[in-house]
Amino acid sequence: MIRAIAFDLWETLITNTPEQSRLQKEARLTRLEQILTRHGFAREAERLEHAHHRQWNRCQELYWSADLDIPCRRQVDHLLEELELDPASFDEPTLAEIETAFASAPLHALPATVDGARDVLRELHARGLRIGLISNTGRTPGSILREVLARLALAPSIDAMVFSNEHGECKPRASIFDALQRQLGAAYGEMAFVGDNLYVDVYGAQRCGMRGIHFIPKTRGDAVAPDVDHGLTIEPDATIHDLRDVVAVIDRLNALTVSSASR
């Protein structure tokens, strides 16, 4: 029986339109420029957009391509290094101010809720299922994503959340699924995972013993993981195009379990 169900975050429960992504980037760069200029680094601030792009590529090369992740402060260090500034030369209050500006951009232009996300979380939670979430975080750390989920009224239906920047590894690594499984208190055979990415979500869940449900949204935003040449044939336990169909999938999987047990 499925007693717990977990979800991917970006492009499964929340999404960024191109306009939201633009506003978030604009908010981040504007606030960073103001801080750097105030501290006497106006010339370096003029190169922020290029450094911002280089910092993303650096994290992708060093960490995310290997399914690893780092704290947000380390990303800030890399950004300053791309500006040819030494992070060690900044005092702690200034570094904290820079980190807040870097991390909190989505609070200035909230992501959109994927159609049906709030309804399906409430329905599953009302049925007594334990609800979990795993997010590969990118630039936005778990501390900010928790606030985003609260503002979007999704957080009250989620019992456990695991974020890669806090955990240190990303999906599809087993350790991040293990961290969620321990929090939910269900056996892997009693869990299902829903996500839009066949490799990191479905494959990652299935190789731990969970059921993997592939969600293919009708429209996709900007928060899509880079393609990975994994050479695998991945067969989800179910495929849905409307998030609300998760409820029927769980009912079907549970009915199959009861039928098999009665034979």
Which of the two residues, 253 and 181, has the higher pLDDT score?
A: 181
pLDDT tens, position by position, 52-94: 999 999 999 999 999 999 999 999 999 999 999 999 999 999 9
Stated pTM of the model: 0.94
pLDDT greater than 80 at residue 157? yes
Q: What is the pLDDT of residues 96-137, one digit of tens each?
A: 999 999 999 999 999 999 999 999 999 999 999 999 999 999
The tokens for 263 are: 């034979």
Judge whether 106 and 24 are in contact, CB under 8 Å: yes
Q: What is the phi/psi pair of residue 182, to 5°?
A: -65, -40
Say if residue 201's pLDDT is above 80.
yes
- 197 Cβ partners below 8 Å, 6+ apart? 8, 11, 171, 225
The 10s digit of each residue's pLDDT in 221-262 is 877 666 677 788 999 999 999 999 999 999 999 887 755 555
Whole-number pLDDT of residue 75: 98
C-alpha 177/C-alpha 185 separation (Å) is: 12
Question: Which phi and psi (to 5°) does residue 50 adopt?
Answer: -65, -45
Ramachandran angles phi, psi of 167, nearest 5°: -80, -35
End-to-end CA distance of the chain: 16
**How confident is the model at residue 258, as a pLDDT?**
59
